[in-house]
Chain A
Amino acid sequence: MKYLKNSTDTNYSMFLTNPEVICRKIGNGFFLLSSKKTWDKCPYVQQISETGAFYWNLLEKGIQRDEMLDCFLREYNIMREEASEDLDYYIDMLIEYHYLTKIE
């Protein structure tokens, strides 16, 4: 179970990464790949950015949202507000494609 603060909510939300999905670097790209068990919900393969892979690895470790953002800002030179928006957009995408489940 991964606990994150979703900035779009005022309360803390719980997130669970799909255990049938892995993130791998293949060649010079990053991909989310899912096993057949979850193909009815999420795509078999989805290319993501290096930032997306960075966040996915933190999500798998159960790092909270704000801490994820802090980790990212330590690694990359980007404005906090912009990175925060991007992260929330990414989390929403992961939820939409069932890579991530939000537990109410």
Chain B
Amino acid sequence: MDYIITLCGICFIIPVKTRYTYKRISSFIEKNEDINLAEYISVDEISEYDEELDSLRPGVRELTSLIIPISDHLLKYNCCVIHGLSFSWRNKGFLFCGPSGVGKTTQYQLWETEYGDEIAILNGDKPILEQRREDQFILHPSPWTGKEDLYSYDSKQLYGIIYLEQGTENNIVQINDSSIVLSLLQEIFYSARTVNLVDNVASIIHNLLTSVPIWKLTNKGDTNSVILTHEVLEEFYRY
């Protein structure tokens, strides 16, 4: 059955077969039936990715296979699905980025322990990033909330990205230069099947680098790494 969902203000018509996917998208289903414009995600677009995910359970597989087609369509509106854990700290949006298994959720859980009254989850795995202006990015909710199912339905302006890397020491440096480009390219979901899509992603990353502070946190996954990051953010935002 086809459903109309709204993600960061953009309507999509998506085919849904499993209960699992329905449950995950149910909060995004558009109640207003009078929709003039919607992006149509075809079965063909999804099937290309569905075939690559045959090791997953059918529901997870179906939901996951929607990510790249939806992100491709989102790019027309300067939005995309990004791999990371988004959270708000003192009402400002932040993103933990990095490859799977690097410790994004662990880092968030440590923050919860140390500074629980200062933070709130936005999305645990793949939020939607909207470039509203050249220098303004917004983090939006999405149906892809990760294994721990961490989510809220709040949107927040992005104030910083913390790119995680495992290490034997804790160290944090601001890194708004070209050395982080390849890493960020790997965190944005899209098919790259046309140069226009590649161009859109390049533009988003360029604007991120020039307007949003990005830190690389090499860390041991311990409390000290959280205290260090907290100190840096406090100093940067001068609380």
Contacts and interface: CB of A to CB of B under 8 A. Distances in A.
Task: Tell me, yes or no, whether A binds B.
Answer: yes
Contact of B178 (A22, A29, A33, A35): A29
A25 B178 CA distance: 9
Given A45-B182, A47-B178, A27 B195 contact: no
Interface size, A (range): 20 to 34
Interface size, B (range): 20 to 34
B199 interface: yes
A24 B195 CA distance: 12
B199 A26 contact: no
Interface stretch (B83-91, B93-101, B205-213): B205-213
A57 B177 CA distance: 22
B178 A28 contact: yes
A21 B199 CA distance: 10
Contacts of A37: 193-194
Contacts of B202: 22, 24, 26, 31, 33
Tell me what chain B mostly uses at the interface: helix, strand, loop, or mixed: helix
Given A36-B191, A36-B193, A44-B192, A27 B176 contact: yes
Contact of B177 (A20, A29, A35, A36): A29
B233 interface: no
Interface in B154-191: 176-178, 180-182, 185, 191
Which 4 pairs show the lowest CB-CB distances between chains A and B?
A29-B178, A27-B209, A24-B202, A36-B192
Interface of B: 176-178, 180-182, 185, 191-195, 197-199, 202-203, 205-206, 209-210
Interface of A: 19-22, 24-29, 31, 33-37, 39, 44-45, 47
